[in-house]
Amino acid sequence: MTDEKFLLRQKRFNILQLGSTLALGLLILKLASMEMVGHDHYAALSTRNRVDTFPTPAPRGTIFDRNHHVLVYDQPVFSLVYARNGREAAPIAQKLAPILGISQQVLISRMTGYDSGSVHTLLATHIPEKAIAYVGEHQSELPGIRIIPDSVRVYPQGDLACHILGYINSIPEQKRDQYVLQNGFPPSAKVGWSGVELSYDRALRGQPGRICVEVNSEGVPERTLPDSRLPKRGADLTLTIDAEYQRDVQQLLARQVEDLHRHGHKDVSHAMAVALDPNTGAVLALASVPTYHPEWFVSGMSYRTYTNQFAPAERNWSTQAAVAPGSTLKPLTGLFGLMQHVITPTRSIDCSGGLRIPATNGTVIRCWTRHGKVTLATALAESCDVYFYQASLDYGHWPPPHDRQIPFWLHRTRLETLHKLEQLQRAFGLGRETGIDLPDANTGYVNEGSGQVTDLPYTAIGQNEVFTPLELAVYASTLATGGVRVTPYVVQSIAFHNTHPKPVRNFDALRLGLRPEDMAVVKWGMYLTCNAPNGTAYSTFHGKHPASYVAAGKTGTAETGIVGFDNSVFIGYAPFDHPKIAVAVVIPGGGHGADSSVPIARAMFDRFFAHASRKMPPLR
């Protein structure tokens, strides 16, 4: 080797040595940086690579009716999960697909898809016994596959009380972080979406468990760690409804809609009814038709089922649909007139079929028939519009003393009068939150009207406001008790695991401080509605088969602006002397209240007292 070649190689070696020294120095600096700056991060990453935590679902609590009949429960099942371990998914999917009845492509997608960063992912739930046996016998051929205990929601009564119970569904996307990351729920967990399943979801859902496993560098589970814990079952609920009575009410509404269709009312699609205990506020029945089956969200539903059956039935019209109440508001109008000292129990007004409004260039508003002379009580019984037209003009102080004061009256006095009447309506539970323990309940309201004199008369007969059937039931209940408003509720008690049931809420009632003599006149008018020969509901309660109890109520026929599509409405209570039930029945498009809603109310009373004779257990 010549000196020249040696020197060349030596030069190359020196350059290589210098490069290696620089690289080693950079590596040492990087390691020091990791130790000093990123220690916590890399320690956590190391732990993550060694331990995986998989949340396991907790069984939801059972829901009972007041007689402890099961309405909803969780059935124990087994689910199949997969621990991603770097192996090819296709061979495992090929073995499991025919056993699970799931396509191989779907299984591979589930096995390889992202699932909140966990090693484990849910492949199937409610797996059949043959799948459980197969996995047990072929465990060595199915690396990463394991069976865990799970549960599935069961609604054994079909569509019974569906709008009270509600349904469960997948975690909403906007709440995914809250449930999965903060509360430790499995990404596949089902949560309440409506009804008591939603409003009591926190209690019903329990606390999820977790499986903590040590995994090797390939993600293969090696052993279960002591940090694993069992899930805690959710609390049980007892409702205020009687399952049999609730079913009776739903069937009454469904049959009435079918009957209306047969008689030409093809546009009638909904009917609603609410029954309350006026002494406590307990919901005895709350129904809206059409109905749906909550288990559709457990077992899955087709697009056709969703579009044709669920979508039209999802809305709880009893708590969410505000409709014009019509003449059922007349008892409150009469009470307001008494409180304003513009009418008395004995004052009579002559109804000739219409009322000419003073100072309006001859404007006439019509009654539905000619009643002759009526007092407050008989005007309520016969549902005379003219009496309440005149009462509204009197308590609204129309006409003003001078024509030049008309603009001031329209812009000031008219609105003040409407607001005073609205305050009384709110005191009776109309146009305000009822406080019911169901989600998404709406409230009605009073329109300020068109800015004309006729706003007062039309409001007086329930044509200028809208309220939900639940609000109307609270209103009927407050009338029944002579001015004591209760808060409606559907959940009577809650029982956490291994504890005695505890009442959900204390008795909540508000005394309105009304004069008993005023209430007595209004209630007498409602008594005559159902029991006097001229009463609009008399034929239903005293026809071929007279009722065995004494009821009181008020019919309503509310115009909707669509010809031939009037709301049929009835509010009432029974027995008259010591009320045990107050009801509101609404059929949009059902026509006259006496024709469509009153027969349902009569049947609701009949069935309630028939059930009561079998000694339904008291709630308080």
Residues 323 and 385 in one domain: yes
Structure-token pair, residue 34: 């990791």
Q: Would residue 569 count as lying in a domain?
A: yes
The H or E element spanning position 519 is helix 516-531
Residues 6+ apart with CB under 8 A from 372: 350, 351
Residues 538 and 426 in one domain: yes
Report the distance separating Cα 357 and Cα 258, nearest Å: 42
Report the distance separating Cα 23 and Cα 26, nearest Å: 5
Beta bridge partners of 170: 190
The answer for 313, left when phi > 0, alpha when psi is -120 to 50, beta otherwise, is: alpha
Full residue range of the structural domain in which residue 122 is found: 52-218+227-239
The H or E element spanning position 81 is strand 70-83
Residues 374 and 522 in one domain: yes
Tell me the pLDDT tens digit for each residue of 10-41: 455 445 454 444 544 554 455 455 455 545 54
Residues 404 and 546 in one domain: yes
CATH of the domain at 94: 3.90.1310.10
Report the distance separating Cα 556 and Cα 571, nearest Å: 8
Residues 213 and 312 in one domain: no
Predicted TM-score (pTM) of the model is 0.86
Residues 60 and 201 in one domain: yes
Which pLDDT score is estimated for 47? 46
Could you say which DSSP state residue 532 is in? S
Residues 207 and 298 in one domain: no
Residues 297 and 160 in one domain: no
Residues 518 and 594 in one domain: yes
Could you say which DSSP state residue 241 is in? S
Of 183, 207, 239, the one marking the end of a domain is 239
* Contact of 276 with 486, CB cutoff 8 Å: yes
CATH of the domain at 326: 3.40.710.10
Of 239, 268, 296, the one marking the end of a domain is 239
Report the distance separating Cα 163 and Cα 177, nearest Å: 28
DSSP for 271-294, written as a single string: EEEEEE-TTT-BEEEEEEES---T
Please report, as a single letter, which amino acid is at residue 477. Answer: S
The answer for 239, left when phi > 0, alpha when psi is -120 to 50, beta otherwise, is: beta
Q: Would residue 46 count as lying in a domain?
A: no
Which pLDDT score is estimated for 11? 53
Q: Would residue 26 count as lying in a domain?
A: no
Please report, as a single letter, which amino acid is at residue 480. Answer: A
* Contact of 194 with 157, CB cutoff 8 Å: no
Residues 468, 472, 475, CA angle at the centre, nearest 5°?
A: 140
Residues 505 and 588 in one domain: yes
Q: Would residue 254 count as lying in a domain?
A: no
Residues 176 and 291 in one domain: no
* Contact of 238 with 490, CB cutoff 8 Å: no
Q: Would residue 86 count as lying in a domain?
A: yes
Secondary structure class of 99 (helix, strand, coil) = helix
Which pLDDT score is estimated for 457? 97
Tell me the pLDDT tens digit for each residue of 202-237: 999 999 988 787 766 655 567 778 888 888 999 999
Residues 291, 162, 176, CA angle at the centre, nearest 5°?
A: 115
Residues 173 and 321 in one domain: no
Which residue shows structure tokens 């047990």?
136
Q: Would residue 245 count as lying in a domain?
A: no
Which pLDDT score is estimated for 9? 47
Q: Would residue 9 count as lying in a domain?
A: no
Closest CA to 276 of 505, 86, 440, 487: 487
Structure-token pair, residue 187: 């990404």
Q: Would residue 508 count as lying in a domain?
A: yes
Residues of the chain with pLDDT under 70: 1-50, 85-86, 114-120, 215-221, 506-507, 613-620
Count structural domains, the chain: 2
* Helix, strand, coil in percent for the chain, rounding step 5: 40, 20, 40
